[in-house]
Amino acid sequence: MKRRNHYTRIHRTTVVLLLAWFGATAACSDKPRSRLEQIWNAGKIVMITDTNAHDYYQYRRRPAGFEYELAEAFADYLGVGLQVVTPGWDKMFGTLNSGKGDFVAAGLPQLPYWREFVDFSDTYLETAKHVIVHMDNHTIRAMNDLNGKKVHVGWGTSIHRRLLALNDEGYDIRIVPHKKVTIEELIRRVAEKDIDITIADSHVAYLNRRYYPVIRKSIAVSGLQHLGWAVRKGDAELVEIINVFFDRIIREGKFAQIRDRYNASRDRFDYFDLKKFHERVDSRLPPYESVIMRESRDHDFDWRLIAALIYQESHFDPEAISYTGVRGLMQLTLETAGDLDVEDRRDPVESIAGGIKYLKWLYDLFGDIPASDRMLFTLASYNIGYGHVRDAQEIARKKGFEPNSWIALRRTLPLLSRSAYYRQTTHGYARGNEPVRYVDRIMTYYDILRWKALARG
């Protein structure tokens, strides 16, 4: 459990006013204290979720996941700690209604039959259920093509219920329900051609294309569905403050920042690039793993992030030379190599050691940037140069954006290629779109490497 203060400092007044209003309402009755008051007094809020790459998982003994990061921001907003419980998909509502948790955050569509048991927040994400097949499989082009086909799904899930409803409408889908099997496992089996068809929500399918580039999202078997967090029936105060929180982080850009960490470049999916990345991780990375691990550990970096950076720079090719003359695994310039005492940029050990040392130097320069964004600033500087990143911050400051936020820099870095902006900067013109794409790609590769580590157990 963690206690954080960012949102507490900014939004505590809002929370206190809401609590005061709810408290005044409660004072008019003999009802026990509201759940929100209990959370405040306990100093923690308990999130109920499922363990998977989208909702919540542990990496290097640290929690991660799209739903987890949203919940962490919500706990910050309330000024309390966050505790996570994962009872299993089929036990989440039971855990909620037994009082062992405060809210369910697990990519839940706001379906009518679930509203009998829980109340939902406002929508924070929209999705649809799609057929998932191997890219070689072109047999499913319309709903009728599912007749007589085996479709593998998780037992009791909203996807399972949707297929049952379709059969009630007259379709003849051979549903194969699996207990205690995640959608990611079913997608893996499709990728390996162990099974032919599964169904996944579109946001889950987009994420898993990174890990299994050979899967293909086919026809939709549902209309657009609205995702929300669930609370116990009658917990109106908690629903209200969740809605206020979502409205705020969406307006401020915090929601987009979290979403993009798990869905960056979803509309620019490059099958050939990701397939090549998976292949080269297996064929080219192993000779360099030990030195990457050692040098990363010496500078307190995650070696998989460094590996993702190296792939973006050179595709793990020590002989790589760019059109600008930078060389080696980490594409060091001649000047930078000299500053780092790197004698041979093509030598893998020298290049890796020098490149990580340079990255650490940049990282230390960004001590004023919040921890969540500091490495993103550092990576952008590795690509475009430290001075240009500071110029983009100054543009953000003049526009009234938060200059220490990556959200703002995504907007202002591209302006460095426009004369109206770069003529007013210290370091002048730069191709500012490149570092944005560069950071997105590295973080996608990094996510895949983390997933591979988790998949190996």
pLDDT tens for 127-172 read 999 999 999 999 999 999 999 999 999 998 999 999 999 999 999 9
Q: Do 199 and 132 touch, CB atoms closer than 8 A? A: yes
In degrees to the nearest 10, what's the CA dihedral of 165, 171, 172, 178?
-30
Per-residue pLDDT averaged across 343-367, rounded?
94
Q: Which helix (H) or strand (E) holds 133?
A: strand 129-134
Q: Do 196 and 150 touch, CB atoms closer than 8 A? A: yes
Checking if the pLDDT of 282 tops 90, the result is: yes
At 362-383, the pLDDT tens digits run 999 999 999 989 999 999 999 9
Query: What pLDDT is attached to residue 180?
Result: 82
The domain spans of the chain are 2-125+227-263, 129-223, 271-455
Average pLDDT, the chain: 89
SS3 2: strand
Where residue 246 falls among pLDDT bands split at 50, 70, 90?
very high
Query: What pLDDT is attached to residue 247?
Result: 96
Q: pTM value? A: 0.77
Distance of CA 25 to the CA centre of its chain: 39
Identify the sign of the CA torsion 298, 300, 304, 307.
negative
Q: Which of 67, 72, 313, 350 is catalytic?
A: 313
Token digits of residue 251? 């307006």
Q: Which residues of 173-208 are buried (b: 16+ CB within 10 A; e: fewer)?
A: bebebbeebbbbebbbbbbeeebbbbbbbbbbbbbb
Q: Is 313 in the active site?
A: yes
Per-residue pLDDT averaged across 197-207, rounded?
93
Closest CA to 313 of 344, 265, 339, 345: 345
Q: For domain 271-455, give its CATH number from 3.40.50.1820, 3.40.50.880, 1.10.530.10, 3.40.50.300.
A: 1.10.530.10
Q: For domain 2-125+227-263, give its CATH number from 3.40.50.2300, 3.30.420.40, 3.40.190.10, 3.40.470.10.
A: 3.40.190.10
Per-residue pLDDT averaged across 249-259, rounded?
89
- What is the distance between the alpha carbons of residues 281 and 376, in angstroms, rounded to a whole number? 22
Q: Do domains 2-125+227-263 and 129-223 have the same CATH topology?
A: yes
Q: Report residue 188: phi and psi, to 5°.
A: -60, -40
Query: What pLDDT is attached to residue 26?
Result: 45
Strand partners of residue 428: none
In degrees to the nearest 10, what's the CA dihedral of 143, 149, 152, 156?
60
Token digits of residue 28? 């008019």
Query: What pLDDT is attached to residue 32?
Result: 54
Q: Do 217 and 139 touch, CB atoms closer than 8 A? A: no
Checking if the pLDDT of 2 tops 50, the result is: no
Alpha helices of 318-432 — where are they, by DSSP H?
A: 334-339, 348-365, 371-384, 386-398, 406-412, 419-422
Checking if the pLDDT of 269 tops 50, the result is: yes
Q: Report residue 253: phi and psi, to 5°.
A: 95, -5
Amino acid at 406: W
Max mean pLDDT among 236-245, 323-332, 337-346 falls in 236-245
* Residues whose CB falls within 8 Å of the CB of residue 346, separated by 6 or more in sequence, listed in order: 318, 319, 327, 328
Residue 409 burial (CB < 10 Å; 0-12/13-18/19+)? buried
Closest CA to 288 of 232, 347, 373: 347
Q: Which helix (H) or strand (E) holds 192?
A: none
Query: What pLDDT is attached to residue 46?
Result: 98
Q: State whether CATH 3.40.50.150 applies to domain 129-223.
A: no
- What is the distance between the alpha carbons of residues 243 and 441, in angstroms, rounded to a whole number? 32
Checking if the pLDDT of 7 tops 50, the result is: no
